[in-house]
Amino acid sequence: MATEGEPADLVKVLHLLVLSFSWGMQVWVSFIAGFALVRQVSRHTFGLVQSKLFPLYFYCLLGSSGVSLAVYAVYHPRELLDWHESVQMVLYFVALVTAGLNAQWLGPAATEVMFQMREVETEHGLGDQIGLGSQKEAYAKLREQDPKYKAYKRTFGRYHGLSQLCNLMGFICTTTNLIYTALNLSTV
């Protein structure tokens, strides 16, 4: 049920905390953790860590995006939205959809293909090197010689690229909503 008027202070705090949680998590996972980790552990360890981290990350984003959208929608009835509020509502919705796509489809699909690639790499003695850039020639040779691996690599690239695009779109939406919220701290 849509509610006009001023939200309670507890609702304002909840909304800001959830939005901040989403943004901070997106910054950490997207721009810090992965880049730090990829330089410190083997390729296969990196993939294993990401396969455990990303489902939790995507579902936390999905949940926090859902809460943010719900709180915003309750205190901003559609009939009363101005242009800026309409944009903000759309941004909350896009953040929710992109998190959902990553949680339900892109993340699991990329992880499945990554494990298939890992099996082939292990058969050829690859994957235990630290850093993704090591042994580029061996990986290029494997792609040339093994059509199955080449297909896995292409499929993984497609899913991973779409996942990154969704993640970036969600990050932009969350950042914009956080800016809107900061500029209008008296409302949610």
Give the lowest-confidence range in 72-76, 77-81, 110-114, 168-172: 77-81
- Tens of pLDDT, residue by residue over 13-54, are 999 999 999 999 999 999 999 889 988 999 899 999 999 999
Contact 118, 44 (CB under 8 A): yes
| Cβ count within 10 A of residue 172 | 15
Residue 18 covered by a domain:
yes
Residue 188 confidence (pLDDT) above 60: no
pTM recorded for the entire structure: 0.89
Q: Per the structure, how many domains does the chain have? A: 1
CA distance 58 to 81: 29
3 falls within a domain? no
33: in domain: yes
Residue 110: inside a domain: yes
DSSP state of 79: G
Domain that holds residue 80: 9-183
CA–CA gap between residue 37 and residue 183 (Å, rounded): 35
The answer to whether position 4 is within a domain reads: no
Summarize the confidence of residues 99-112 as an average pLDDT.
98
Q: So what's the pLDDT on residue 9?
A: 85
Q: Is residue 14 part of a domain?
A: yes
User: Does residue 159 sit within a domain?
Assistant: yes
1 falls within a domain: no
